[in-house]
Amino acid sequence: MTENQNIAKIFKALGDETRLAVLKLLQSGEKCACVLLDRVFVGQSTLSHHMKILVESGLVTARKNGKWTYYAINPIEGEKACQILRDLTVKLDDGVDYNACCRDDRED
C-alpha cells in the first residue's frame, strides 16, 4: 500500500456519519460493541463492518475480553492523522503572482 493509499484510508474511515457517531461515543471511553449497537442506528453486521474499517485505519483499537469486544480511540494515530491534515493544508510561502496561466511556468 502506497503512502497516499494509507492516508486516504484514514480519511475514508472518518468520512462516514455512522463512524463519526461511533467515534463520538468512544470519546467518553472504551465501549463494547453491544453498547455501540444500542446507540447507533444500524444492524449488528453493519456495525461490525464499520468497526473493522475504523480499526484498520488505526484510529480505533479493539480488545477482546471473553464474549465482548471493547473498542477505544487510539490517540496516537489520531495525532498522526492531525499532523498529516495540518501538513496538507498549511499555507506555505506563496508570493508568486499568477495573473497569467501558471502553465507558462511548467517544465515540459
Partner DNA sequence: GGGTTATATCGATTTTTGTCGATATGTGAA
Partner DNA sequence: TTCACATATCGACAAAAATCGATATAACCC
Enumerate binding residues for its own copies (CB under 8 A): 2, 4-5, 7-9, 11-17, 20-21, 23-24, 27-32, 34-35, 38, 59, 65, 67-68, 70, 72-75, 77-79, 81-82, 85-92, 94, 96, 98-99, 101-103, 106
* Dist. CA 106–CA 85, nearest whole Å: 27
Per CB under 7 A, the list member of 68, 72, 76, 83 interacting with DNA is: 68
106 is a site residue for DNA (CB under 7 A) = no
32 is a site residue for DNA (CB under 7 A) = yes
* Dist. CA 98–CA 103, nearest whole Å: 10
* Dist. CA 85–CA 87, nearest whole Å: 5
Distances (CA, A) of 75 to 23, 46, 52, 60, 98: 11, 24, 17, 8, 41
43 is a site residue for DNA (CB under 7 A) = yes
Residue 51, all three cell numbers: 468497526
For DNA, which stretch binds (CB under 7 A), given 26-34, 74-82, 88-96?
Answer: 26-34
# residues contacting DNA (CB under 7 A): 26
